[in-house]
Amino acid sequence: MLNKEKSRNPRNNLQFEFTVDKSTKTVLVTREFAAGLSLVWDAFTKQEILDQWWAPKPFLSKTKIMNFEVGGRRFYAMVSPEGQEHWAIQKYTSISPKTNFKFLNAFADKDENPQLPGSDWDLSFIEQGETTKVRIVIYNDSLERMEKMIEMGFKEGFTMTLNGLDILLKSKNHEKRD
């Protein structure tokens, strides 16, 4: 079963697509940002920028360890307004600078013990003049895991998270012009 939603932001006509494909156990997210490739790449790969947007509001992202290289990892928590921490680990498996990187993502406990199964993320970055398209393919080992991810509100939470990135990128673009 394929569940595909496409939309365009009415203010800036940028593409946003969220597709769930149960037959391949994948979620595909495509999002365009009104920012250059270098800025968007940095937003996904630098700890100090990631922590500004990698959580749906009102949650905050708090990175404990980040080593962006093949074999490296990011260990971080999404922290609720009440201070409750939800830990996750991303293990980087492939990096092609400014075009693509891949990682295994899994929830974890505060001692960095992954709660398997995780999911494989494949992020591609495509420069399109004044905009950058990010294409994220999330592959799940099991249909059950993917369905649980969707049930937990992944679409809504990740949409909010990407909207936060959009706002951050607009402010960074504005800073560059000043």
Residue 8 above 70 pLDDT? no
Report the pLDDT averaged over residues 102-106.
96
Is the model's pLDDT at 178 over the cut of 60? Answer: no
Q: What is the mean pLDDT of residues 50-63?
A: 95
Domain 2-177 fold: Alpha-D-Glucose-1,6-Bisphosphate; Chain A, domain 4 (3.30.530)
Could you give the 3-state DSSP secondary structure of residue 160? helix
The pLDDT score that the predictor gives to residue 103 is: 98
**Rounded mean pLDDT, 66-77:** 98
Q: What is the mean pLDDT of the chain?
A: 91
Mean local confidence (pLDDT), 78-83: 96
Mean pLDDT value across residues 75-89: 96
The stretches of the chain forming alpha helices (DSSP H) are 37-45, 47-50, 143-151, 154-177
Q: Could you give the CA distance from residue 167 to residue 162 in angstroms, rounded to a whole number? A: 9
> What letter would DSSP give residue 24?
T
Q: Which amino acid is residue 96, in one-letter code?
A: S
DSSP 8-state secondary structure symbol assigned to residue 127? E
Longest dimension (CA), the chain: 49
pLDDT at 102 over 90: yes
What is the C-alpha radius of gyration for the chain, rounded to an integer number of angstroms?
16
pLDDT tens profile 109-150 = 999 998 878 899 999 999 999 899 999 999 999 999 899 889
pLDDT computed for residue 62 by the predictor: 97
Q: Is 10 a residue whose pLDDT tops 50?
A: no
